[in-house]
Amino acid sequence: MRFTSEQRLDDGVLERRFTLGEIPGILWTPGSASAPVPLILMGHPGGLHRMYPRLVARARHCAAEGFAAATLELPWSGDRPRSAAAEETRADLHRALKAGEPVDDELVDRLVLPLVEKAVPEWRAALDALLPLPGIGGPVGYSGGVISIGIRLAVVEPRISAALLFAGSFVPRTLFEEARQVTIPLQVLLQWDDEGNDRQLALDLFDAFGAREKTLHANMGGHTGVPHFEGDAGNRFFARHLR
């Protein structure tokens, strides 16, 4: 991992951009901390530049609670090399949505599974690089979407102790099976009136999770309208489980 830039935000948070091999990422750490702080991996739908305003707001919120936050660019997104297969699949998705056709399991698999397969080892490699940094301690939380990446990480990565998952994207059937193996504490966010998301599928997924402590927070406001108070609720969830 190589740091490429560093800036101090007005609230004292230190923002450092880095590359992990060819993958761009950002690390935010609280302005002042006397001991190493837990780390939250912040998931997102891809496109660091486009997502930056929302990511930095989430990171500041984490830092205010005394957490570090980090994110990585997703495969085939932002400044990373495109994949012809992924582009074709996205085009198929847009065609299906535009035509009002159902998005079938085969398309969901093609859309999500390669992303999960490629991204999850990258996020684990990011943990290898981030956790030894001075000021960063365990344990680790995962927060956000893509929910399928969060599910797989929760199953395969023992350093992740709690996850706040955003149920707002397509989930392949096989990830439903993996959800049963998730036993870490979960908080699942669902936008009740998210027109692009299948509410019943999200409820079925919440039901499938094998965690003994799992909480569903459903709110109004559409896909991007998660209420501000859920940021506080997320901090309290992680404070319970990462401290």
The yes or no reply on residue 217 touching a copy of itself (CB under 8 A) is: yes
3-state secondary structure of 29: strand
Two structure tokens written together for 137: 């301690």
Regarding 85 and contact with a copy of itself (CB under 8 A), the answer is no
CA-to-CA distance for 106 and 19, rounded, in angstroms?
Answer: 33
Contact between 104 and a copy of itself (CB under 8 A)? no
Is 227 a residue that touches a copy of itself (CB under 8 A)?
Answer: yes
Size of residue set near a copy of itself by CB under 8 A: 19
Using CB under 8 A as the criterion, what x/- string covers residues 142-181 for binding a copy of itself?
A: ----------------------------------------
Q: If DSSP codes are grouped into helix, strand and coil, which group holds residue 194?
A: coil
Does position 213 interact with a copy of itself (CB under 8 A)? The reply is: yes
Residue choice 24, 215, 222, 223 for contact with a copy of itself (CB under 8 A)? 215
Return the amino acid letter for 54.
R
Q: d(Cα 226, Cα 188) in Å, to the nearest integer?
A: 12
Contacts of 216 (CB under 8 A, 6+ apart): 188, 190, 203, 206
Q: Does 201 bind a copy of itself (CB under 8 A)?
A: no
Question: Cβ of residue 145: shortest distance to a copy of itself, in angstroms?
Answer: 19
Q: How far is CA 179 from the centre of its chain?
A: 15
Shortest Å distance, C-beta 97 to a copy of itself: 24
* Residue 231 binds to a copy of itself (criterion: CB under 8 A): no
Copy the structure tokens of residue 163: 């996850």
**Distance of alpha carbon 160 from alpha carbon 182, whole angstroms:** 11
Q: Does 1 help bind a copy of itself (rule: CB under 8 A)?
A: no
Tokens 């094998």, located at residue: 210
Nearer to a copy of itself, 92 or 213 (CB): 213
List contacts with a copy of itself (CB under 8 A): 192, 203, 206-207, 212-220, 227, 229, 232-233, 236, 240
